[in-house]
Amino acid sequence: MKTSHLLLFASVFGLFAAAGTVRAAAPASSQPSPIEVNFSTPEKFTDVKDDVIGSDKGRENILLEIREYIQKQTAKNYLPEGYKLVVTFTEIDLAGEFEPWRTGASEVRIVRSNYPPRMDLSYQLTAPNGAVVKKEGQKLRNMTFDTLVTLDRSDPLLYEKEMLNEWMKTEFGALKKK
């Protein structure tokens, strides 16, 4: 009987592995990113929560996704070879809100036009020779975020990423064209 359980487990595990559910960790890149993303006192940010109460782990996961998104998109689309960008967020308020008075919906972020995404940040862009090209503070707001037309609404940071895309395009879009 124990052998049949073991065979069943091995078969199920094999199916999941074949379907790509069980994955080995990707090798870490030895190449440092030219984009550094920091979060100044993230525990004081207005809203970086994964549910009505929020958790440190939930906040860390959201911030990690924002960091990786900026690093990937900026490096790929806007930052010329040799340039370095340091971005520091001082405030984040994600689109939508958790409405605790909604019974049974404490893990559902309600997205309405009166809950727009907001991010305050500063950044410094340096050229390959180390000269500071640009150094500014920005207050990102997207008051029309809820008019975004997209087929993929499964990304919980959809509105924030769209706002960051617009910011990167505006601030750094001309760099790669030079």
What is the average per-residue pLDDT within 86-106? 83
Amino acid occupying residue 74: T
Q: Answer whether residue 82 is part of any domain.
A: yes
Is it the case that residue 21 has pLDDT exceeding 80? no
Return the H-helix or E-strand segment holding 167. helix 158-172
Asked whether residue 9 is assigned to any structural domain, the reply reads: no
22 CB-contact burial (10 Å; exposed 0-12 / middle 13-18 / buried 19+) = exposed
**pLDDT surpassing 70 at residue 102:** no
pTM score, two decimals? Answer: 0.76
What is the model's pLDDT at position 110?
73
Q: What is the pLDDT of residues 133-154, one digit of tens each?
A: 999 999 999 998 888 777 677 8
- Does residue 25 form part of some domain? no
Boundaries of domain holding 52: 33-172
Does residue 21 sit within a domain? Answer: no
Tell how strand 35-39 and strand 97-98 pair up.
Answer: unpaired
Domain contains 24: no
Task: Examine residue 23 and state whether it is found in any structural domain, yes or no.
Answer: no
Task: Domain count for the chain, please give it.
Answer: 1
3-state secondary structure (DSSP) of residue 11: helix
Instruction: Kindly indicate the confidence band of residue 177, based on its pLDDT and cuts at 50, 70 and 90.
Output: low
Task: Flag whether 46 is in a domain.
Answer: yes
Q: Is residue 69 part of a domain?
A: yes
- Residue 151's pLDDT is 62
Q: What is the pLDDT of residues 44-64, one digit of tens each?
A: 999 998 876 778 999 999 999
Q: Are 163 and 120 in contact (CB under 8 A)?
A: no
More confident residue, 39 or 78: 39
Tell me the mean pLDDT in the region 80-98: 93
